[in-house]
Amino acid sequence: MKKILLLIISLLMVISISQPANAKKKIKVAFALLWTIDDMGWTTAAYNGIKYLKEKMGDQVEISYTEKVLAADAERVFRKYARQGYDIIFGTTFEHMDPMLMVAQDFPKVVFEHCAGYKTAPNMGNYFARMYQADYLAGYMAGLMGYKHVGTVATNPIPEPIRGVNAFTLGLIKGLKEGKHSFNPNKVNTVVWLKAWRDPINETTLAETLISRGCTLIRQMADTPDSSLAACKKGVPAIGYGADAAKYGASCALVSTLWNWGPFFVKVVKEVQAGTWKPTPYWAGFEQNMIKLSSFNASVPKSVQKKVLKELEKFKNGEDNVFVGPIYDQSGKLRVKPGEKLTDKELLTMRWLVKGVVGNIPD
């Protein structure tokens, strides 16, 4: 009997030695995705971030996701994950904000993170990326190459896309000036609005319409690459958005501006593991690797690539002067005085277009 007891004690000691006292609990992470993971845009970018999280964290995380979670179904999905014991739940689109806030109040021990919103709670943060920095660089590249009749297929007329249109236009004008190209400062970027995040049929129609009106470069801003694909079919170059348009058939894309959510997902999981997570708004750009540029098309001159990458390094070092004055709006009104810089609050509520944009902000 004593021998059996000694054997049991020895086995328990071996087990305790093989299980370090500080072994980390596997974190259960859930994602509510706006559309399907193969949408070639917004949700594909989110899914790429999920894959990055799995790659970096391995068996430290258990991951689940639900596709096509629209606003009407979001509360149900969030509650399901919370009841299943998930530690962190991500809502990956603006429309998830209010449903997430409701559920967060009922599950105070669960960490909630919401993309593109502005509301927080003791257990709910929000996050977004400064895509306008990449928009600015894409415009700068186009201007250096002499494109002065750009057509932009924009999405919903809310501050985030408006910032993108403005940043692109400011970069475009900077490039045109540096390249010593002649241009009409009041008319370099014609914008039309889908009033949707994705609409493949209208994306194609609007791109074709802009080309028929004389636009020589199409700027895609929708969640799908169809406006870029339409440009390619017409023999006109494009600039992709969200995901790399060239990977989805748009061989004419000069460059694409990319969401890069993976590093943030890893950041949140590690903070939850360490007990240091806080429900603070997080809005970062190149300096935190939240956005990227794709590879350049071979048709982009090396000299242009070099200049664009030099500007990118400034962003990585925390130097963001996209919205430093003087900046004028379409009517010629001075919106940002020389040397002054728009605040984050002003950027997040932007409802005006800079000089050089043709088109209005619809109601």
The pLDDT score that the predictor gives to residue 6 is: 42
Sign of CA dihedral 266, 322, 142, 202: positive
> CB of 165 within 8 A of CB of 333?
no
Q: Where are the domains of the chain?
A: 27-129, 131-258+292-358
Q: Which two tokens stand for residue 272?
A: 């939850």
pLDDT in tens, 292-303: 999 999 999 999
User: Phi first, then psi: what are they for 76, rounded to 5°?
Assistant: -60, -45
Rounded Cα distance, 323 and 249, in Å:
33
Instruction: Report the C-alpha gap between 238 and 232 in whole angstroms.
Output: 7
Report the distance separating Cα 347 and Cα 38, nearest Å.
Answer: 31
Closest-CA residue to 140 (of 179, 96, 111): 179
pLDDT over 70 for what percent of the chain?
93
Q: What is the pLDDT of residue 20?
A: 44
What is the value of pTM for the model shown?
A: 0.91
Segment 104-142, tens digit of pLDDT: 999 999 999 999 999 999 999 999 999 999 999 999 999
Fold of 27-129: Rossmann fold (3.40.50)
pLDDT band at 23 (very low <50, low <70, confident <90, very high): low
Summary mean pLDDT of the chain: 94
Evaluate whether 27-129 and 131-258+292-358 have a shared fold.
Answer: yes
Is-cis flag, bond preceding 263, omega within 30?
A: no
For residue 188, pLDDT over 60 is answered with: yes
DSSP state letters, 94-116: GGGHHHHHHHHHH-TTSEEEEES
Q: Which fold has domain 131-258+292-358?
A: Rossmann fold (3.40.50)
Q: What is the DSSP string of 171-187?
A: HHHHHHHHTT----TT-
Instruction: State mean pLDDT over 248-277.
Output: 98
